[in-house]
Structure 1
Amino acid sequence: MSLSLILACLWALAANVLAMLPSRDNHWRRAYALIVLGIPLVGYVTYENGPWVGLFVMAAGMSMLRWPVIYLGRWLRNRLDRSHI
């Protein structure tokens, strides 16, 4: 297993452990930190293992951080709806 996949597995493990711990802000600060660490990691995985593995790792990360992705989709949809008026 390549170094990038080991790091991606450690990222996923850290995301799951952080999700189990209580939080006062509904885990948003932790989600931001995971996003900041995860985006370059997906690029590194894609560089070392190819685009299909990179897409799989990105989908796995998006499934763990689904609420930031949902809010981003809502924000983009609202921006696009307002620009067509």
Structure 2
Amino acid sequence: MAEHILSGSGAEVLGSLSQAVKKRTGLFGRTYEDPALAELYETIREAWLEWQNALLNFEDADCKEMVDYYTYRIKASQIRYEYLLRKAKALQALQAQ
């Protein structure tokens, strides 16, 4: 289920972002030139981790209420992740001009 998450355009955007960003101390010990890009990159990473966490917790849910809760969390975190990817693509397109 989670194998396809970073496939396709999502993986390309993350790869392009990490290559496009130059050196400057940033979040989590990484180095970036533009702090805004560093923050966006880390936010995308955190959104993906949140999505993965919701998927794992869904598999361990033991009652109907928790299944409903994690279903909501999965969908919400997926939407957030996809939004951030679209934002990164738009930013990447602006930088290419």
Same fold (TM over 0.5): no
TM-score (norm 1): 0.41
TM-score (norm 2): 0.37
